[in-house]
Structures are given as C-alpha cells and as structure tokens.
Chains A and B, each alone.
Chain A
Amino acid sequence: MNNLKEYNKVFTTLFNINDYQLNKDFTFNNVEDWDSIVHLSLITELEDTFNVMFETEDILSFGSYENGMRILEKYEISFNDF
C-alpha cells in the first residue's frame, strides 16, 4: 500500500468515514469528533504506521489532514509516489 493510502486509512478508521470526506476542510477546528482523545490516538497510529516519532511542535501544530502530510514529509515520508 502506498503512503497516501496508509495515511488515509488511519483517518478513515479512526473517524469512521470514507476517503472522499478527506480534504482541505478536514481540520481539528472543523471536525467535531476530533478532540484531544482522538488526537492522541491519531498521533499514536501515525507514529506506528510510518515508524516515526513526532517532535512536540509537530504534534501540536498537526491541525489538519493536509498539514499532517506536510509534517510527515519532514520525516521523509513521501506522498508523491502515486
């Protein structure tokens, strides 16, 4: 599975949604279910999936579906392989 698919799967599983619902509006502020408990699970899942360990600032500024990809790119996880 490519990175984007893996990345999406973490979101769709955790938020119980479909791929098409993931877009630039999928943000911490917009999504009601995205509370601190879910955020903790999200970070943990992404760390396990991509075998990375986020810096504090990156966990705090994660903020949205799109920004999450920018952050993962800093950890050399590429989303351009599709």
Chain B
Amino acid sequence: MHLGIDRHRPERIAAIDDTGTKLSYGGLCDFAIEFGSMMPRRSIVFCLCENTIGALSGYIGCLSNHIVPLLIGAAIDRKLLAHLIEVYTPAYMWMPEGLVSEFDLPVLYKGYGFVLVRTEHERYPINDDLAMLLTTSGSTGSPKLVRHKYINLVANAKNVAALFDWTKNDRAVVDLPMQYTMGLNVINSHLYAGASVLLTEHNLMSPDFWRNIKDQRATNFTGVPFSYEVLFKLRFTRMDLPYLTTLAEGGGKLTATMFADIADYASRTGKRFFATFGTTETSARLAFLPAELAQAKIGSIGRAIPGGELFLLDEKGNEIKQNEIEGELGYRGPNVTMGYAFCRNDLMLGDEWQGEYRTGDIARRDSDGCYYILGRKSRFLKLYGLRVSLDRCERLIKDEFKIDCVCTGTDKRMDIYITEDKYKDEVRRFISIKTGIIMSAYAVFIVESIPRNESGKVQYKALDRKLSLRLI
C-alpha cells in the first residue's frame, strides 16, 4: 500500500474532513483495494481534488495500485482543464459527485462523495517508474507537469516525518490544497507516521476553520507566507491554542519581521516553529531550519532534510565550497523527481534528473551550514551593470513602508508596483538610496491590488501585461 498505510492499526483515524467524515487506516486500505479493481494498472486518472476524504482516498487508491493520477484542483479553470485533457487524454477521471453533470460521461464507481468516470480516451503506454503527475505552482495555462516516481513520494514522506518527529498522535490541519506539493507533503508525511490529517476546505478567514482547529485539537499547522499574514491579522498570537504544538512554513519567503515574530511567539509559548523550503520538482520539502535555531537564524531555510544534500553552484556550474558566497541552490536526494512532461509522449520518458535538481534560486550558506534564499535566479536585474535582486527590493519596500509591493522589469529599468499612491515618490527615493543606483533606473506604478493566484503567488505576467497595455 502507498506510504505503508497498511502498517498502522486499522482502527486508527487517517483523515477527517469538514463533513465530519472520519476515515480509518483500515477503511482507507479497503477502499484502495476496491478502487484498484475498477480499472487496469498504469491507467492515467485525472483527480479533481478538494480537501476531502473523497479526493484523498482516490489519490491513495491510485498510488496503491500503480494507477497514475494527475492531481488538479476541482476548481481549475475549465479551459485549462480541457486543454490538459486534450494533451494527456486520461482514460478515467475521479471527481466530486457534484461535477459529474458537467462531463456527461459514464460513472463506473462511487465513494465518499466522489465518482469515477470513464472518458472516451484509450489507455496508452507510459514509463514503468511514473507514479504521479502534478502541475507546478507557476503553471498558468501551460500543460507542464512534474513526473514523480514512487520512491520520491515515499522517501520524502519518510524523511519529512523524521525531521518533524511526527508520531501517530499528531493531528495536522491541512488547508493548503492537496494538489499543491506542500499540501500533499503535509498529508504524506503524516500518513507515513500513522498520524491523522484534518482536511479542510475552509479558509483561514472563516470562523469554521478555527472552530475546527479547536474542536479537533489540531497539533500541527503548515502555512505559506500568506497564511501567516492572515494569522497575524487575526492576532493569532493572542488566541488560546493549547493543543497546537508545531507551526511550519514553506512555499515562499516570510518577511524578516514576520519570521522573527513567529519564532518569538513559538519560543514564548513552548511551540515549535520550522521554516522549510521545497519545490514541486523535489516532491516538496528539501530543506528545513531546526526549531531551536529559528530565533538565531531569521530568514534561513536551514539545512538539507535527512537523506538529502544541498550545494551551491557558480555561474559556470562549479560547486562553491566557501561560505558566504552567492550561487544557485542545488539539491541531491531521493525525492528529486524524474523531470517535466509537456505532452503525452513525455510520459514514456525515464528519470532525466537522476536525483539532482537545480532550484533556480540564488542562495548563500553561512558558517554554520545554514542556507538563505536571496531570490529567484530569473528575478535579478542588471541595472547599470549592478546585479539587483527584485525579491530583495520587494522585501525592503514592504518592511520600510508596510505596504504590498511587487518589483519586475528589465535590465534597463525596474518597475515597482505599490498599492499606496502617497508613497510613490518616497519609494523611488528609498530604493535608489538602498541600492545605490540612480532614481531614473526605477519607475513606480500604483495598482489597486497585487494580482495573486490561489496559493498567494504574485502573477507577474498579469502586471507586465497590464503595463504594456497602458492600463496602469
């Protein structure tokens, strides 16, 4: 069974969702066997996910039977979905019962509010090692998928469970979408440990979310930077959450202030705070900062997870051995996936990455071996010959003015988007002083709000497009 779920006592609870439905490990194993009998091994199944028992069971059912799912959100844009179906021609789809009328396809099987439908497409040969497909967080309308093999998911679940020291008594609230690599990693690492996952569709701003956390006595919370912005807005440091013992962060960089505030809060209340770093290409987590270092190493992603290795590469691709030098962050470990797929034929491909992945992030390592992400490799401009990090500029402006901000641009000019008209001139002067580059290298634009996708990532292309159309 996937993640060794059959190792756990059958009566233990694996998952609970918003409907109050509880699923035991035994129930999950039984479901997986039944699910597997509905279709041949090595079929491709599109799983339209929501954070519910139905979606989770389908995922476990696929992986336990060598059926290959593509996990995508049930709310996925229908044009993009149609495009993915056209490109990857899945023979089956697993979706919430409420969506089935959209498709007019024969239903083969039902379970936990989900249905399995047969499409008009035939099965086709795929690589033996291919276990699962995910989109990347950056995929906007493109059919680019990440090809996972079996060992990736199990190794990452095991190693991440080990670094957090999850036990069967842990109860993790999962509001990050399960089709998102970090959300899936929270699920996988807890199921590996025999713990329980509390799947929720409620967002952090809803009273039901907090009622759930209290009633279900959640012990672990994992959020992206936006989640923590919400938590602070809700003054969660004043909430009484006695059962919550572990706070984890991943999926982007917290501001220094917020990082320090969470670390202090955790230390003051006897909780653990772990900053982590991961990518879809490495089945999520590849680095973590031990909780006891959180206050001392503000903003660090720490060291490699157990079983992995981090390194830095210079512009020629040679490994940088000295500390405190900037370079591209690379990772070696069993959770590195096989590569990308852009079309159906790519699903025949074997392991292209061979356990090594370059993240495309520029980082440095301190003398204690802790790593700090400085920004995306592609998110640097060369203004007047000087390398300037767009991410760093964003953080500087956010910290100084306490406003939302996005920086993009070309090597000719940096475009800064802010939401407060009154700071327009000040921001320009400030960033010019901070970087030591003349003001004419910067242009500031006022927007009503910064466009972000459902996981909170900035949609840079949308901003650039608006600007080029002179809508700003």
Contact = CB atoms under 8 A, between A and B. Distances in A.
Q: Do A and B bind each other?
A: yes
Interface of A: 13-14, 16, 28, 35-41, 43-44, 55-57, 59-61
A38 B230 CA distance: 11
Given A37-B456, A39-B205, A40-B205, A56 B448 contact: no
Nearest to A38: B449
B239 interface: yes
B449 A41 contact: yes
B207 A60 contact: yes
Given A37-B226, A56-B234, A14 B449 contact: yes
Given A13-B448, A14-B449, A36 B235 contact: no
Given A36-B205, A55-B235, A60-B210, 18 more contacts: A13-B448, A14-B449, A35-B203, A36-B203, A36-B204, A37-B452, A37-B456, A38-B449, A39-B205, A40-B205, A40-B230, A43-B233, A56-B239, A57-B207, A59-B205, A60-B205, A60-B206, A60-B234
Contacts of B78: none
A57 B226 CA distance: 20
Interface residues of B, number: 19
Interface string B212-250: 000000000000001001100111101100000000000
Contacts of B238: 56
A43 B234 CA distance: 10
Interface string B190-216: 000000000000011111001000000
A37 B234 CA distance: 13
28 contacts: A13-B448, A14-B448, A16-B448, A28-B206, A35-B203, A36-B203, A36-B205, A36-B230, A38-B449, A40-B205, A40-B229, A40-B230, A40-B233, A41-B449, A43-B233, A44-B233, A55-B235, A56-B234, A56-B236, A56-B238, A56-B239, A59-B205, A59-B233, A59-B234, A60-B205, A60-B206, A60-B210, A61-B207
Contacts of A56: 234-236, 238-239
Contacts of B235: 55-56
A7 B230 CA distance: 22
Contacts, number: 38
A36 B449 CA distance: 14
Contacts of A28: 206
Interface string B431-448: 000000000000000001
Contacts of B233: 40, 43-44, 59
Among A14, A35, A37, max chain B CB count under 10 A is at A37
A57 B449 CA distance: 25
B5 to A, nearest CB: 31
B225 to A, nearest CB: 12
A13 to B, nearest CB: 7
Nearest to A60: B207
Contacts of A38: 449
Nearest to A48: B420
Contacts of A61: 207
B18 to A, nearest CB: 15
Interface in B384-407: none
A17 to B, nearest CB: 12
Nearest to A47: B233
Contacts of A14: 448-449
A38 B226 CA distance: 12
A44 B229 CA distance: 11
Nearest to A42: B205
Which A-B residue pairs are the 10 nearest by beta carbons? A36-B203, A60-B207, A36-B205, A39-B205, A56-B234, A56-B235, A59-B234, A40-B230, A40-B233, A61-B207
A10 B439 CA distance: 32
Contacts of A60: 205-207, 210, 234
A75 B205 CA distance: 20
Interface string B306-343: 00000000000000000000000000000000000000
A22 B108 CA distance: 46
A56 B205 CA distance: 10
A63 B134 CA distance: 34
Nearest to A62: B205
A61 B206 CA distance: 7
Contacts of B239: 56
Contacts of A35: 203
Contacts of B207: 57, 60-61
| Residue from A28, A38, A59, A61 whose CB has the most chain B CB atoms within 10 Å | A59
B182 to A, nearest CB: 17
